[in-house]
Structures are given as C-alpha cells and as structure tokens.
Chains A and B, each alone.
Chain A
Amino acid sequence: MSKEVFNQISPSEFFYRNRDLAGFSNPTRSLYTAVREFVENGLDACDQQGILPDIHLYIKAVDPEKPDPKPYVLTVKDNGPGMDSNQIPLAFGTVLYGSKFGLKQARGMFGLGATMAILYGQITTNKPVTVSSSVDGKTLHKYEMMLDIQKNKPVIMKHTKEETNKKGLNVSITLDGDYSKAGSKIRDYVYQTSLITPYATITFDDPKGEKFQYKRIVDTMPPAPTIIRPHPHGVDVETIRRMIADTHYQVPVLDNAMIDKVKKELGLSKKNLNFEGIMARAEKKWSSLSRPVRVIVSVMSFLNMDFEKIMKIRLEDIDLVHKRLTYYDFGDSKLVTVDMPKSSNYYKQLANTVQGDSLVTFLTKRFQRIGQATAIKFAEFANLKAEKRIGSFTNEELVQLSDSLQKYEDFLTPDPSCLAPLGEEPLRKGMSQFFKPDFLEVYQRSASAYSGFPFVVEMGIAYGGNIPPGKMTVYRFANRIPLLYDEGSDVVLKVVNETDWNRYKVKNESPVVIVSHICSTRIPYKTVGKENVADREEIEKEIRLALQYLSRKLAAYMSKRGLAEIEKKRANLYLKYLPLIAQFSTELAGKNKEPDYKKVIKDLNNVQVEEQ
C-alpha cells in the first residue's frame, strides 16, 4: 500500500490549477476577463484618489496573420496614482495581495484578477508581464517579471528607471486570446463601462486598427467611498473572533526601548533597583504610569524579575482562564509557565488589559451605528453582561453573541458611506449623451441593506431618440462594472420581465433602455464569474421600487406624447379634409368661389379644448 503524500500548495498554484474559477477558461473568455481586470484596476485606482480617469486600452496581435486563437499583447494605461516601486513585484507577482480587503465598495474584491491574468498570460505564452509606474510624475519604474507559481513569488527579470512627465500605471501582458470571438463583448464592455463612468475618458485601440473612444461627459466624480466598521448583521463568528483579538491590548514587546520607557516613567533612568525596589517605586507612582508600563510592571511582579532578568525572556502567552503566564527563557532555552494568583492587584490590571473592552465598549467602538443605549439593550437581548470583558467570553458565549447579533432587529440600517453610487446627475448626463433620448428619468434609492451589507440601487430609463425600436435593452451594472454574461438569471432582468409594461403604455417594440446600477460592499453574485446578481429579497424590492417610480414617469410622458400625437393627427386630418369638403360643396352649391374655410381651421385650437 502506497503512502498518501500531503502537499501544501501555494495560492498561485491553486489558481493555476483552478483558473476556470476566475474566468480564464478559454482564449475568448480569458481575453475578455483580462481586459476587465486591468481596466477596472485602472478605474479603481483613479477613483480612490479622486483623479478623473483617462484609461487607454490596446490589444494588438503578436502575429496578425495567424488565425485565432493566437497571442495578443494587452496593454492598459491609466493616469492614476501609480504604485510604489517596491510594491510592484508583490502586487503583480503574488496572488491574494492587494489593498481591497477593507469594507468599502470597489470594482474588484481581492486584487486577484490582475494576477490571474498575468498568470494566464505566462502559462499560455511564456512571456513576462511588463509594469511601468510613476508615483511622482518624474521617475518611471519599469519591471519585467514572471511568476514563480509554486512559491507564489515574483521573479524580477529586469528593473529599469527612466524619466517621465506623467503619473500612472501601465500594465502589459501577452496572452492567448480569440479576438474574433471576444471582440464584440469587449467592445460592449468598453461601451457600457463608459456609460456608467461618464467622468472617465476611455479609449480602445482594437487589433483590427479601429479606435473606440468615449470622452468624459461630466467633470465631477462621485465622492470616494470610505472604509467603515462592519454592521452587526454582516458579521459571522469567525469575523467576531478576529475582531475580539484585535480589541486586545497588545502586550508590549520587551525590547530595550520598552525597558527604557519603564525606567523613565518610574524615574529610574540612572538608577538600577532590585525587584523589591522597583515594585515599591511602581506602587508609589502607579497613577501616573502609562498603560504599557503598567502591563510590564504587572508581568514583572508575577515573574518576580528585575530589569536584568526580564531582558532575557520573551512573553509567549497570558492565559487568564487558567491564570497562567508562559514565557521563553533565552538563558535556559526553555518555556516556563508560572501561576498568577488572582488575589494580586496586578492580576486585575493584566486581566483588564488582556481581556479587552467590555461588551458595550466593544460594540460601540467596533461596529457602525451602535450607541451606548443600543449596546446595553442588545446585551439584555443577548443575555450577556454588558460590562463583561470580551476577552473573557467562553466559546459558548461567543456563539451566543454572534447569533444574537444576527437576530437583533433594532440596529440601525448600515451606513452607506462606504458606497459610491454614480449619482443621479452624472447618470442622467451619461444616458442623455449616449442615447440622446426623447424622454429620460433617473432615480437613486436611498441606502438599504441585506444581511448587514449596505447597498444602493440607482436606475435610469430612456425612451426614443437615438434608441432603436425593438426589444427593450437593459444595461446591468454592479459597482460600476457592466454585467454582460448570464443575463437570463439576473435579478434586474427578473424584475423588468415581471413588469406589466402595457400598464405603462410601453409596447413590445418601444425604443426603451433601462440602466440599473447596484452598489454594495458585497454584491451577491450568483456565480464566480460575477455576471449576475442573485435575487435577494431586499435587493429585488429596491429594484422594483426604483423601476416602478421610473415607469410611472415614463407612462406619464407616454400619455402626454399620445395626446400630442392625437392633436397632431387631428390637425392634419382637418387640414386634409376641410379643403376637400369646401371644394365639393362649392360645386354642389353651384358657386364659383370656394368658401372661406380657413376660419374654421383657425378655430381648431378651440375645438380641441372643447373636445378634451
């Protein structure tokens, strides 16, 4: 019987093996996904810094004569803040490295996609990625790198510096792609991205030599979203555990600087007292000591150590449940555990430090929109002591806490300041420019939340103008990303299809465009491909309300337009028939001159009023 071998694999190795998950299943899809990842990174970088984006996308075939699929060079250049030279290798050469792990809205989530694209390019063409960046607009750092997939590490092949006069980032990869198949999707993507990012100029040079450029329509950017504390409904047990660990007051590192600080506060900078002397001095000056110093003094008291001795140990664990303190002794090269008598005043001091905040403080400090009163009410609801320190919670109590956080209904709705909807005016201007419609209405719902994640729905509806008649077009966006695939099972489509459009005087062939944008710190995508939004009840409701509002406006317009058309038709009818009646009656009556029927036509306006 052979022995099973267990290997740990690196994240990049994992994604290399499972690249389908990230949208790199075939040359068509991969080219499209790579475009998306780089363009979205560029837009995100500009958004975060409040820079009006100017994104340039180039796709060029390495050998245009070859049939698809074939290698393409994909380059995306932005005018963003650039990236620090020393961050570049990690950011582009490591999977799961990025700045997007906080709780705020961004296009991408993990900075994963760009590296995946690079990885895909490398495994299909064995060509390095080129990254050029300038943070200051003076020096341009240019890297040529490949990924060491097994070690999840970048291999820098070339690093050069040159002068520049522009800030920003320029990423270029070579990858196998199929532009003949992916082209229309990529063009759609660029078009739709421009629609939802009217403050950006996006240029696309395609491999066939065509240039698609969408110029900036508005000069104002929506405010950048801020990182915020989580909403209680949005956290699970694991998150709470990590948050609790964060709340612990860190036991200070016992280094020279720390010892100097203790000495200074005790007024012992020049003297070197023994253990008893130190303790006596500490007791005398206690009220004036800073927190880290108090902790060190407490530790010293339990270990019965003076400065000399404590310099030779490293604190390993303060285990309050078992009232034990463990340290590593460099001198003896061994772990030592000592008991901490609970009766000691120092024990309480240490416990307070290590056990962290009380439940009430934890709630008010660590979560958004929880005040003192709410926290106390919640503690009652959860059947936990409001003043109990969070670090002393047993496992059972932690579960009770997290369960109760989910169940308690009186928390305020999540703070939407972490969201960055486009806003009604930019959306209106964008749609107006794109469709030149006869009728346009936009609407932004106020923030709502599903399972603790805030979200905002904004929508626009346009009718007529440059919109061709035919099937109603629905442009779906999530966090400013166009969703192009799998539209059949999307919640927006569901709501649109369930709408009785006849009620709103919209016919089958009416030239109608609907733009829907959902912003959230976490969009509930149905699939890994991030192409369709799941029908969460709360989101569906917001979409429905927004659509109803817009449809009513459209219906009002359609009625008015219908009336205007009837008026026009009426006027035309009279203009057509009255002269005929005049002509016939002239001959019948045996007259030579036609009657002056123009008076009747002049009267038409009055007639219309009468008949309405």
Chain B
Amino acid sequence: MSKSKSNKAAKVATEKRDLLLDLLKLQGAQVYNDLDKGKFPQFSVPSRSVSNIVYDKKLRQYILGNAASLRSSRNMSQLRSFTQLMWLAFFANRLVHEKKSSTLRDVYYSSQAFEVEFEDQPESDNIIVDLEAVLARPREDFHIFPEERSSIFGDLTIEYTVPGYEGKRTNLSNHPDGYLIGPSLSSAELVDTSAELVIAIEKGGLFTRFIEEKVDKKFKAIIVDTAGQAPRATRYLLKRLHEQMKLPVVILTDGDVYGEHIAMVIKSGSANAAHLRELTVPDAKWMGVWASDIDKFKLPTIPMTESDIKRIYDLQKDPRYQEGIWKTELEIFLKIKRKAELEAFSKYGLTNITDKYLPQKLELSKSL
C-alpha cells in the first residue's frame, strides 16, 4: 500500500480533528459572547426523543428528525444540564487538544474536579450523547470511549496516531489473541491489508476458534469479535474497513432474535445513535445463524423465553424488518419458538462450523 495513501488518511484525520476543534470553539465563542453582552446563552440540542427518530430509507439508517429543543441557561431547570454540557465541551476540547482519551466512567468522575455534579453515570452518559448530537460527531471523535472492548484479528496493517505512537505500524495478525479495539486502534490509520472480507462474529469463544482454525488465511478475512452488541468504536471500524479498504462485511451471530438485531445494528444503526451518521455499514450482510439454519443444520436448540418472543413482536414493527430475510427469519423464529447458539455446531465436532457452515454461508451470502 502506498505511503501517499497513508499520508492522505493522516491528513484526513487531522482535518477532522481541526474541524471538531473549530466546532467546539464556535460553540464556546457563542456562549462567551452572549454572556459578555449580558445575555443568557443557549444551545439548540437536536431532540433525541422517540418521536424524532425516523428510519431514512435512502441512507439506510436511523436518523434524527428536525425537532430540536433549546437548552437555555436562563431556564432554572435547564441551568444545571446547560452547565454540564458546557463543561463536557470544555473537557472534550482539552482531551482533543492534549490528545488524551477518556472513558464514559472517567468523564463521570472527572466532572467532580470542576464542581460540576452528575447524579450518576447515566446522567453524564446522557450529556455526552447530547454533545454528540449538538456537534453531530461521535464521542470517539472527542476521545471518549466505552469500557467494553471488542477485538480484531487478521492481516491488517495500521498506523497509530495516538501520542507517543505516531507513525508506528502494527499488523493485526501479530498477536494470536487479536487486538482490542480501543482508542488507539480506533484512531489509527488503516494502511494495508491482504484480506478480501471482514467477518464480524458475535461471540468471543468463536472468535478464538476462528483464529485457531486460521479462518483469516483460509477465507482471506479480517475477523472482528463484536462481543455481543457491537460497540460504537467497533461499528466505526467496520465502516472504515468497508469504505476505506473496500472490504465486504459479513456478520455471524447466534441463531436468535438478538443475533438478528446485532447484525441489523451494524448494518443500519441503532435508535440510540440516530444522531450519528458514521457508524453504519448498510452493505453489511447477515449470514446467520438464521432461524431456517436451525432446521437445515439440525442444530441443538433451546426454547425461547417470553422476552425473546416479545422482542420478535417488537422488531416486527420496525420498518427495517418488513422485507427479505429479516422478515422471513423473524417469522420462522416465531413459528419454531426455539433458538440456537453458535456453539451448537460443536455437536458435530469442533471444526464443523469453520469447515462446513462457514464456506456454505459465505458462498450463499454473495448472492444476497
């Protein structure tokens, strides 16, 4: 892979960072000027209420509608959250300037140094999402990450951009446990890969099995462990792999309604992040385990719980589940009322899933 491409990517990253800093400065200056003029400053915060979340068929993801609410420092009931939001912008500004990263929990505790109080972490998490909405940027852009980490493995060379590691390159097949998708990896430039495919897999156990079975080599794949519902950094990375490295993304999940939805969130986003536009891979393909596979592969099953069934009914109302396999598989789940885990293939031997199921499904997915 050419050096110029890497430079270009770095440049893009720097531009993006500068843009964010400009955005923060702009918001800050506005508040500063209002105060200086003796006016109560205010923010327009896009409404994240359910009524303002719509599915955009063109973008193939959930987005926020036009509704926005004014958060004013004049209003006593909003004064506190206004201050919290200002503090967070201030804190994010420092993080980005100083190239430091933080976690959701860390933010919650950091606030206390500034006499800005949060009742609990959910309150501070919520303000973080508010800032994302105001800036229309994911929190990862201002260096705030979740604690949960998923992993990645495969022939992918990256170049770190985090302080102290700038310019340093690593190949993600160097470590047999895979690499944690943390802040440094999220912000790294993607330099080169020989892979032709990305396989996102729901379970850590299967991720390790895939590495052991050299799925990366056999299928020319980069393997990503989503560790359940994929964290946003992971989804962001998947999107970049797809867009920057032009790799197709397939998703392998448990054979239940939650697995189906994990695939859908990678593909078209979640309502929780409807204010963000950079987390979806609309072309990603869910290759199973489908409800229909359960019978087809004679997989051992577990009966569904009440909440599993309720979840099916909920998803049936979602506009994204109105057609194709998304619709038919939900219907089959509801019919058989049983589910199967990825590990169920082990009934036929430890390598059955990689030897038999995976090749079949990959072949099939090409036609999806």
Q: Are B82 and A581 in contact (CB under 8 A)?
A: yes
Q: Smallest CB-CB separation from B27: which chain A residue? A: A588
Known: A580-B83, A581-B31. Contact between A588 and B25, CB under 8 A? yes
* Chain B residue, CB-CB nearest to A599: B38
A574 to B82, CA, bound (A): 12
Partner of A600, one of B39, B89, B90: B39
The answer to whether A498 has its CB under 8 Å from any CB of chain B is no
Contact partner of A580 among B89, B94, B116, CB < 8 A? B116
Q: Are B29 and A589 in contact (CB under 8 A)?
A: yes
Give every chain A residue within 8 A of B90 (Cβ-Cβ): 583-585, 587-588
B28 — which chain A residues lie within 8 A by C-beta? Answer: 584-590
Contact with A along B32-75 (1 / 0, CB 8 A): 11011011110000000000000000000000000000000110
- Residue in A576, A577, A591, A611 whose beta carbon sits within 8 Å of that of B32 in the complex: A591
Which of chain A's residues 454-479 have a Cβ closer than 8 Å to chain B?
A: none
**In the bound complex, CA of A576 to CA of B28 (Å):** 19
Please, how many angstroms separate the alpha-carbon atoms of A506 and B167 in the complex?
Answer: 69
Q: Which of chain A's residues has its CB closest to B36's CB? A: A595
Q: Are A600 and B40 in contact (CB under 8 A)?
A: yes
Give chain A nearest CB distance to B344 CB in angstroms.
Answer: 53
Q: B24 to chain A: closest CB distance in Å?
A: 6
Q: Which residue of B lies closest to A578 (CB)?
A: B73
Cβ contact within 8 Å between A581 and B25: no
Residues from chain B with a CB closer than 8 A to the CB of A580 are 83, 86-87, 114-116
Q: Complex: how many Å from CA A448 to CA B24?
A: 76
Cβ–Cβ < 8 Å partners of A599 in chain B: 38
Q: Is the CB of A581 within 8 A of B41?
A: yes
Mask: chain B, 79-101; 1 = CB below 8 Å from A; 0 = not? 11011001101100110000000
CB of B76 within 8 A of chain A? Answer: yes
Which residues 562-585 in A have Cβ within 8 Å of B in the complex? Answer: 570, 573-574, 576-578, 580-585
Known: A580-B114, A587-B90, A588-B93. A595 touches B40 (CB 8 A): no
> Which residues from chain A contact B31 at a C-beta distance below 8 Å?
581, 584-585, 588-589
Partner of B74, one of A585, A596, A607: A607
The answer to whether B29 and A581 have CB atoms under 8 Å apart is: no
Q: How far is the CB of B29 from chain A (nearest CB, A)?
A: 4
> Are B35 and A585 in contact, CB atoms less than 8 angstroms apart?
yes
* Chain A positions 590 through 612: 1 when the CB is less than 8 Å from some CB of chain B, otherwise 0: 11000111011001000100010
Q: Which residues of B contact A570 (CB under 8 A)?
A: 76
Contacts of A587 in B (CB 8 A): 28, 90, 93-94
Flag if A577 contacts B73 (CB, 8 Å): yes
Contact residues in B for A597 (Cβ distance below 8 Å): 35-36
CB neighbours of A607 from chain B (8 A): 40, 74
A600 to B89, CA, bound (A): 22
Which of B24, B80, B114 is in CB contact (< 8 Å) with A588? B24
Per the bound structure, the CA–CA distance linking A580 and B39 in Å amounts to 15
Which of the listed residues A574, A577, A596, A607 has the most CB atoms from chain B within 10 Å of its own CB?
A: A577
Contact B89–A584 (Cβ < 8 Å) = yes
Task: Please give the distance in Å from A501's CB to the nearest CB on chain B.
Answer: 28
Query: Which residues does chain B contribute within 8 Å of A573, judged by CB atoms?
Result: 76, 79-80
Docked-complex contact A577 and B35, CB < 8 angstroms? no
Bound complex: CA A577 to CA B38 (Å): 15
A577–B79 touching, CB < 8 Å:
yes
The interface size bin for chain A is 20 to 34
Q: How far is the CA of A586 from the CA of B25 in the complex (A)?
A: 10
Closest residue of B by beta carbon distance from A600: B38
Instruction: Give chain A residues whose Cβ lies under 8 Å from the Cβ of B87.
Output: 580, 584
**A596 contact set on B, CB distance < 8 A:** 35-36, 38
Known: A580-B115, A591-B32. Contact between A585 and B80, CB under 8 A?
Answer: no
Q: Which chain B positions have C-beta within 8 A of A590?
A: 25, 28-29
List chain A residues, Cβ under 8 A from B115. Answer: 576, 580
CB closest residue in chain A, given B39 = A600
**Chain B residue nearest in CB terms to A588:** B28
Alpha-carbon gap, A595 to B37, bound state (A): 8
Q: How far is the CA of A141 from the CA of B36 in the complex (A)?
A: 89
Q: Are B83 and A581 in contact (CB under 8 A)?
A: yes
| Residues of the B chain whose Cβ atoms lie less than 8 Å from the Cβ of A576 | 115
Shortest Cβ distance from residue A573 to the other chain B in the assembled complex, whole angstroms:
6
> Which one of B36, B80, B89, B116 has the greatest number of beta carbons of chain A within 10 Å?
B36
State the Cβ distance, A467 to closest chain B Cβ, in Å: 31
Q: Which of A577, A583, A611 contacts B80 (CB 8 A)?
A: A577
A576 to B82, CA, bound (A): 13
The listed residue (A574, A589, A600) touching B25 by CB distance below 8 A is: A589
Most buried by A among B25, B41, B115: B41
The CA-CA distance from A175 to B82 in the complex, in Å, is: 75
Within 8 Å CB of A586, what residues of B?
28, 32
A586 to B31: give the CA distance in the assembly, Å. 9
Contact of B86 among A585, A600, A603 (CB under 8 A): A585
Q: Which residues of A contact B73 (CB under 8 A)?
A: 577-578, 581
Which residues of A have CB within 8 Å of B32?
A: 582, 585-586, 588-589, 591, 595
Complex CA–CA separation, A607 to B79 (angstroms): 13
CB distance from A450 to the nearest CB of B (A): 53
A590 and B94 alpha carbons, distance in the complex (Å): 12
The chain B residue with its CB closest to the CB of A570 is B76
Closest approach, in angstroms, between the C-beta of B37 and any C-beta of chain A? 8
Chain A residues with Cβ under 8 A from B79's Cβ? 573-574, 577
Provide the residues of chain A in CB contact with B38, threshold 8 Å. 596, 599-600, 603
A588 to B79: give the CA distance in the assembly, Å: 18
Nearest A residue to B41 via CB reads A581
**Most chain B beta-carbon contacts within 10 A, residue among A580, A582, A584, A591:** A584
Interface residues of B in 214-228 (CB under 8 A from A): none
Q: List chain A residues, Cβ under 8 A from B41.
A: 581, 585
- A590–B22 Cα distance when bound, in Å, is 11
Shortest CB-to-CB span from B75 to chain A, Å, is 8
Encoded as 1 (CB less than 8 Å from any B CB) or 0, chain A from 134 to 177 comes to 00000000000000000000000000000000000000000000
Chain B residues near A600 (CB-CB < 8 A): 35, 38-40
A583 CA to B93 CA, complexed, in Å: 13
Tell me the minimal C-beta distance from A6 to chain B in angstroms: 85
Q: Tell me which residues from 1 to 45 in chain B have a Cβ below 8 Å from any Cβ of chain A.
A: 24-25, 27-29, 31-33, 35-36, 38-41
Bound-complex Cα distance A583 to B89 (A)? 12
Closest to A611 in B: B76
Chain B residue at minimum C-beta to C-beta distance from A601: B38
A-contacting residues, B250-267, CB 8 Å: none
Which chain B residues border A578 with CB–CB below 8 Å? Answer: 35, 73
Tell me the minimal C-beta distance from B118 to chain A in angstroms: 13
The chain B residue with its CB closest to the CB of A607 is B74
- Tell me how far the C-beta of B91 lies from the nearest C-beta in chain A, rounded to whole angstroms: 9
> Which residues on the A side are within 8 Å of B35 (C-beta)?
578, 581-582, 585, 595-597, 600
CB neighbours of A589 from chain B (8 A): 25, 28-29, 31-33
Shortest A587–chain B CB gap in Å is 6
Q: Which residues of A contact B27 (CB under 8 A)?
A: 588
Taking CB atoms, residues of chain B closer than 8 Å to A591 are 32
Shortest C-beta distance, A555 to chain B (Å), equals 24
How close is A259's CB to chain B, nearest CB, in angstroms?
100
How far apart are B161's CB and chain A's nearest CB, in angstroms? 23
In the complex, which residues 102-119 of chain B have their Cβ closer than 8 Å to any Cβ of chain A? 114-116
Using a CB–CB cutoff of 8 Å, the interface residues on chain B facing chain A are 24-25, 27-29, 31-33, 35-36, 38-41, 73-74, 76, 79-80, 82-83, 86-87, 89-90, 93-94, 114-116
Beyond A580-B87, A587-B28, A600-B35, 4 extra complex contacts between A and B, CB < 8 Å? A584-B28, A585-B31, A587-B93, A595-B33
Q: Which 6 A-B pairs have the closest CB atoms?
A: A588-B28, A599-B38, A595-B36, A584-B90, A595-B35, A589-B29
Q: Can you list 26 pairs linking A and B with CB atoms under 8 Å apart?
A: A577-B83, A578-B73, A580-B83, A580-B87, A580-B115, A581-B82, A582-B35, A584-B28, A584-B87, A584-B90, A585-B31, A585-B41, A586-B28, A588-B28, A588-B89, A588-B90, A590-B25, A590-B28, A591-B32, A595-B33, A595-B36, A600-B35, A600-B38, A600-B40, A603-B38, A607-B40
